[in-house]
Structure 1
Amino acid sequence: MTHLAIAVPVLIGFALLLAAMSRHQQDWLRRKLSPGLSRLLRWSGFAMLALGLLFAGWGQGWAYGAVAWCGWLSVAAVLVLTAQTNRERIQRLFS
């Protein structure tokens, strides 16, 4: 259960960081968001990554939890990158 509590916020965090970038906003939303909203998305993304680290430390101890968190960071980054790479297919699937 601890791994799920680490993986979900980290995945959401990377998705928020992707959504905070103006180029990707144009790709996914077909428009650019305001600078204030982009900043909010960026800070929320970093906060979710930090929340994942807290869950890892509390659930598995700080030594092992940090290693598990780094592993989930890698998995989440690959998933978000894969979604960005296959963006057109995903948009066609849901439209």
Structure 2
Amino acid sequence: MIHAGIFLLSLGGFVLLLLSLARHQQDWLRRKLPLPLTGTLRLSGFATLMIAFVVAGAGLGWGYGAVAWFGWLSVAAALVVTTNTNRERIMRKARP
């Protein structure tokens, strides 16, 4: 269960970081968000990744937890990059 939590927190953190960039806001949300909200998204993304690290360390021990955290970070980052790369196809299927 710890691994699922680490993965979901990592995935959420990377999604928040993706949406904190103006180009991706325009692509995914069809508009640019105000600068204060963009800063909040960026801070929340980094904070979520740090919370994932704390969860990994507390749940699995700091040695193994750090390794597991990096592994789940890699999987989450790859998923976000793949999803962003296929954004056009995803948005086309989402439209009625």
* Runs of at least 5 residues in structure 2 that lack an aligned partner in the other structure: none
Counterpart in the other structure of 2:46: 46
Deviation at residue 16 of structure 1 after TM alignment: 0.3
Counterpart in the other structure of 1:5: 5
List per-residue Cα deviations over 1:24-60 (Å, max 9, x = no partner). 0011111110000000000010011001001100110
Identity of aligned residues (%): 59
Counterpart in the other structure of 1:22: 22
- TM-score, normalization by structure 1: 0.98
Aligned-residue RMSD, C-alpha:
0.6
- TM-score, normalization by structure 2: 0.97
Distance 2:93 2:36 in 1: 31
* Runs of at least 5 residues in structure 1 that lack an aligned partner in the other structure: none
Q: How many matched pairs? A: 95
Following TM superposition, where does structure 1 have runs of at least 4 consecutive aligned residues deviating by more than 3 angstroms? none
Deviation at residue 93 of structure 1 after TM alignment: 1.6
Counterpart in the other structure of 1:84: 84
1:61 is matched by which residue type in structure 2? G
